[in-house]
């Protein structure tokens, strides 16, 4: 039967074995993985910085396109206003022409003397 001394010896052996396993097998593996992760993170951050630069350029182009679109829409609005003015003038001219046509018909209907 096992006594307290045997249990302590087993705990020491198991504890030493676990310590040895952690120090010799697990710690180097974890160190290597941490280094690989650091390198991978550096690469990820480098790509993110490159993407930030690309996005900055794209956003600048978007801003420039927005300015161009605003300019086009202002030009279209001016053209619409000019067309509206032309149609109003055309309506006024048509009214004047109808009045002149009535006068001409009236004058034509009067017998020449």
DSSP class per residue in 68-106: HHHHHHHHHHHHHHHHHHHHHHHHHHHHHHHHHHHHHHH
Count: domains in the chain:
1
State residue 62's pLDDT score. Answer: 95
Entry pTM:
0.46
Angstrom distance (rounded) from CA 45 to CA 39? 10
Instruction: Going residue by residue through the chain, which has 113 residues, state the pLDDT in tens, using 9 for 90 and above.
Output: 677 777 787 777 777 778 887 888 888 888 899 999 999 999 999 999 999 999 999 999 999 999 999 999 999 999 999 999 999 999 999 999 999 999 888 888 888 76
* Tokens found for residue 57: 């350029």
Look at residue 9 and tell me if it is in a domain.
no
Residue 31 host element (H or E): helix 27-109
Q: Find the domain containing 57 and state its range.
A: 52-113
Look at residue 63 and tell me if it is in a domain.
yes
Look at residue 36 and tell me if it is in a domain.
no
Angstrom distance (rounded) from CA 73 to CA 83? 15
Look at residue 69 and tell me if it is in a domain.
yes
Look at residue 35 and tell me if it is in a domain.
no
Look at residue 90 and tell me if it is in a domain.
yes
Angstrom distance (rounded) from CA 112 to CA 30? 119
Distance from the Cα of residue 30 to its chain's centroid: 40
């Amino acid at each position: 039967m096992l006594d307290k001394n045997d249990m302590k010896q087993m705990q020491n052996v198991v504890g030493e074995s676990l310590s040895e396993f952690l120090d010799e097998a697990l710690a180097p593996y974890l160190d290597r993985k941490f280094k690989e992760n650091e390198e991978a993170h550096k690469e990820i951050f480098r790509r993110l910085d490159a993407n930030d630069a690309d996005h900055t350029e794209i956003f600048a182009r978007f801003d420039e396109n927005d300015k161009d679109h605003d300019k086009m829409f202002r030009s279209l609005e001016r053209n619409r206003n000019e067309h509206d003015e032309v149609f109003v003038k055309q309506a006024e001219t048509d009214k004047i022409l109808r009045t002149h046509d009535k006068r001409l018909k009236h004058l034509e209907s009067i017998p020449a003397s």
